Structure 1
């Protein structure tokens, strides 16, 4: 429960800082960069060397990898058909394609399914959502951002992106069976734990919910996809088509129903992909997801 309180307190703190004159209006830019250059690389270097690879990962992993592909196909096709800007399409792919499987997901899954369910949630998040964000998420952000002209420019943005460098360093360590000393691991864990408070304060500082905003239609579509269509897809695929009935399947469906990923919003914002809409996807999506999660938990009981 304390993790959920942290989400709301930090977001409200960010909203409050909008009225504090001592803070520059663009202070959230520095916070975004701190998350990207410090917090996310630290997370990768702490968690990825510890991941044990096995076939048991396949179902939970599918939530992140297949889910992101589904979002890409959905919004790419719709964006082309409707004549959307690249920034809008990229924003919706990132924020509707990646779920908040850890900071909101972990406490909810542990409360509903206990420690066993939490083990599955960690698989969904670390080799799943986090790795997708650090690879395909960065690719989408680079490809759809301003100034990304041509393949070489996109590749340069991806290769030089700090979480991407940290991700491949951590993958190499995992394959080599090597991890950092306990002291360094403790440092990386503490730096990585700053993702939630810093990112949410930054989101709150950008959050401006205007009644007459032109983003409401896109917000509704993005949240409908993330909170309803994506979990429905995995419910049909895992529960009905495959017919799997074990606990990990229910946890996987619930994780698919989580609100948009906080760091996906930061990634979109830092690349100029509709920062206001990406902030609204988090600010509106997180509280709304508590209602839709209750619905999916009820459905999974039958």
Structure 2
């Protein structure tokens, strides 16, 4: 519950700072860069060397990878048919294709399924959502921010993206079965823990609720896809078609129903992919998701 309270307080503080004259108007840009260059790499270096690789990863891993591909197909087809600008397609693909599987997901899963459920949630998040954001997310952002970028530019952006560099180092350490000593682990853990408050304050700084904004119709579609369509697809695939049972399957479906990823919105904003819409996807999506998560928990436990 502490994490959920933190989510709302940081959003509110970000909104409040918009009215503080002494706070820089573009202060969210500096916060975004702190997340990209320091906090996210620290998370990767702390968690990924500890991930145990096995076939049990398949269900939770599929949530992030399949979910992002579905988002790309859905919004690319609709966007092209309706002549949306590339930046809008890219924004919705990233924000609706990446779930908030840790900062909101972890406390909710722990409350509903205990420590065993949290182990599955970590698999959904670290080798799943985090890696998809650092690979497919960057590729998508690069393509839709420029329209027709060179392949070399995309590769360069991926290879020089700090979280991806940290991810590669962490994966090599995982394969070699080595980890940092306890002092470095403590430092990385504390730096990684700043992602939630800093990112949410940054989102709050950019969040502007304009009832006449043209973003509302796109926001409704994006959140409907993320909170309703995506978990419905995984429920049918995992529980009905594949006949999956057990805690890992239930936690995976619940994680697919989480609100848009905070750092996904930061990524979209950094690449100029409709920053206001990306902030609204997170700022409005998180509180709304508590209602839809209750619905999916009921469905999962009924069937």
Under TM normalisation by the shorter chain, which class is it? over 0.9
TM-superposed deviation, 1:147: 8.3
Contact in 2 for aligned 1:146/1:272 (Cα 8 Å): no
2:135 equivalent in structure 1? 135
Alignment RMSD: 1.0
2:92 equivalent in structure 1? 92
TM-superposed deviation, 1:146: 3.9
1:172 equivalent in structure 2? 172
TM-superposed deviation, 1:137: 1.0
Within 5 Å, give how 1:59-208 maps onto structure 2: 59-146=59-146, 149-208=149-208
TM-superposed deviation, 1:149: 2.8
Point out 4+ residue stretches in structure 1 off by more than 6 angstroms: none
Within 5 Å, give how 1:26-45 maps onto structure 2: 26-45=26-45
Q: Tell me, in whole angstroms, the C-alpha distance in 2 between the residues paired with 1:132 and 1:298.
A: 29
TM-superposed deviation, 1:59: 0.5
Tell me the secondary structure at the aligned position of residue 273 of structure 1. Answer: coil
Query: 2:49 matched to 1:49?
Result: yes
> With structure 1 as the length reference, what TM-score do the two structures score?
0.98
Q: Which whole-Å deviations, capped at 9, do the CAs of 1:95-148 have from their partners, x for residues lacking one?
A: 000000111011111111111111111111111111111111111112222487
TM-superposed deviation, 1:80: 1.3
Q: Tell me, in whole angstroms, the C-alpha distance in 2 between the residues paired with 1:47 and 1:38.
A: 15
Q: Tell me, in whole angstroms, the C-alpha distance in 2 between the residues paired with 1:143 and 1:159.
A: 15
Structure 1 runs not aligned, ≥5 long: none
1:252 equivalent in structure 2? 252
Q: Which whole-Å deviations, capped at 9, do the CAs of 1:240-270 have from their partners, x for residues lacking one?
A: 1011221111111110000000000001011
Q: Tell me, in whole angstroms, the C-alpha distance in 2 between the residues paired with 1:11 and 1:146.
A: 30
Shift in CA distance, 294/16, structure 1 to aligned 2, threshold 3 Å: same
